[in-house]
Amino acid sequence: MKIKEILSHYTADNPGTIAKLERMFLQGRLAGSGKMVILPVDQGFEHGPARSFAPNPSGYDPFYHPQLALDAGLSAYAAPLGFIEAIARDFAGKLPLILKLNNHDVLMEENNPVSAITGSVDDALRLGCVAIGFTVYPGSEFRADMYEQIREIAEDAKSVGLAVVVWSYPRGQDLSKEGETAIDVGAYAAQIACQLGAHIAKIKLPSDYIEQDAARKVYEAQKIPIGTMAERVRHIMQAAFDGKRIVIFSGGAKAGDESVFEAARAIKEGGGFGSIIGRNVFQRPRAEALKLLDKIIEIYKS
């Protein structure tokens, strides 16, 4: 699926927004392929600096990450306000930037997470960004508040020609830990992100576990194939308006090289649009990270 066909599904958007999406598809080594690999670095806020950057101390420097993305030929770089403000003067125009507009910390144990709004659409415009990012937690007690926030923020972003990326991460007291990445819950998360007006949905790769009893009956009755990762990605894409919305899959915690490559192969085979991969990149030494990204890009290009 090439860029013109992909963007033809976004019929309600103005030329500015379409141009921003096209900019990401034309950036780096995957330019023109209809695939993208994005480097997200919001983990310093979300998990804490030592947990995020101590394995590779170069990551404490906000300039390290966009330079790595640029050198690796990635499609975009996403981060909260502070990191983007630190580097925008040097990288806006050279590398598509995505401003993450809400974040939360882990200094308080919580069963129902909710993120604080830490940036604005005006900030994204001021800093030369192509898109805003926003996290919702389907399953959280506070999910309705987050849905209403992104509705308003997305309306503002689209009106000024910015793209909207929604991190859709199911969490909450009624979801088991295994259920957070269950296939039925992951497909639901993708559908929710798309229904909220996301141009790009960011979700976790799903397991073959089914969390909801009501959903299990349908999966079994309809014989929905979920046995392989590629089949599960394909099902996620069905949930994303039958593949008419861009879905990229997060890399999660640092894993072995082959696990990362297997995930990329499954995403490609299942019709996903690419990867948004953070800790598996910036927690490795620079040379190792570049080698890993080179292989991921080759998988998507092949």
Per-residue pLDDT of the chain (302 residues; tens, 9 = 90+): 689 999 999 999 999 999 999 999 999 999 999 999 999 999 999 999 999 999 999 999 999 999 999 999 999 999 999 999 999 999 999 999 999 999 999 999 888 999 999 999 999 999 999 999 999 999 999 999 999 999 999 999 999 999 999 999 999 999 999 999 999 999 999 999 999 999 999 999 999 999 999 999 999 999 999 999 999 999 999 999 999 999 999 977 778 999 999 999 999 999 999 999 999 999 999 999 999 999 999 999 98
In this structure, the strands spanning 97-100 and 163-168 are: unpaired
Is 4 considered catalytic here?
no
In this structure, the strands spanning 116-117 and 102-103 are: antiparallel
Question: Which structural domain, as residue segments, surrounds residue 71?
Answer: 3-301
Tell which residue, 9, 72, 4, 11, has the closest CA to residue 32.
Answer: 4
Given a contact cutoff of 8 angstroms between Cβ atoms, the answer to whether 17 and 161 are in contact is yes
The DSSP letter of residue 205 is: P
pLDDT at 1: 60
- CA distances for 272 relative to 122, 242, 269, 279, angstroms: 31, 11, 8, 20
pLDDT at 109: 85
Q: Tokens for 230?
A: 């590629």
Q: Tokens for 82?
A: 């502070």
Given a contact cutoff of 8 angstroms between Cβ atoms, the answer to whether 74 and 65 are in contact is no
Close Cβ partners of 257 (under 8 Å, ≥ 6 residues apart): 292, 295
Q: 50: burial class by Cβ within 10 Å (0-12, 13-18, 19+)?
A: exposed
Q: Please give the sequence-ordered ranges of beta strands (E in DSSP) within 114-256, or none if there are none.
A: 116-117, 131-136, 163-168, 200-204, 246-250
Tell which residue, 240, 259, 158, 235, has the closest CA to residue 194.
Answer: 240
Residue 200 belongs to domain with CATH number = 3.20.20.70
pLDDT at 254: 77
What are the respective helix, strand and coil percentages of the chain, to the nearest 5?
50, 15, 40
Q: Given the residues 100, 202, 204, 268, select the one marked as catalytic.
A: 202
Phi and psi at 128, nearest 5°, equal 75, 30
The count of domains in the chain is: 1
Q: What is the dihedral of CA 206, 209, 214, 218, to 10 degrees?
A: 80
Give the whole-angstrom CA distance, residue 36 versus residue 283: 21
